[in-house]
Amino acid sequence: MTDRSEMFDRLKGLIEPFNKKGVEVGETTTFAGDLEWDSLTVMDFVAEVEDSFDIIISMNLQAEIENVGQLVDAVTKLTAA
C-alpha cells in the first residue's frame, strides 16, 4: 500500500518527461491549463500511468481528472482495489 505522498512523487516523476514548459508541479496543477497538454499528450501520459501501475483509467474517470491531486486520488483508489 502506497501512501499519498509516495503516490504524488511517483506520478510527479511520470509527469516530468511530458512537462515541456518546466511548470512547478503541485496538487493543484492542471493538465490542460497549467501544463498546456493537448489530447494526444494526455493519452500518452494516461498510457504511461496505466502501464506503470498496471491499472485501467476509464474514459469517464479521465474526464473527471483535471489536476494532479485528483489524479493522485484516482490512482491511489485504483491501485487499492
| Fold classified for 4-80 | 1.10.1200
User: Domain coordinates of the chain in residue numbers?
Assistant: 4-80
Q: How far apart are CA 29 and CA 36, in angstroms?
A: 10
Query: Which residues of the chain fall short of a pLDDT of 50?
Result: none
pLDDT of the residue at 38: 95
The pTM score is 0.93
pLDDT of the residue at 81: 76
Phi, psi dihedral angles at 61 (to 5 degrees): -65, -40
Cα distances (Å, whole numbers) of residue 31 to 3, 12, 50, 81:
22, 12, 17, 25
pLDDT of the residue at 59: 94
Q: How far apart are CA 45 and CA 39, in angstroms?
A: 10
- Find out whether 64 and 70 touch, Cβ atoms under 8 Å: yes
Q: How far is CA 55 from the centre of its chain?
A: 12
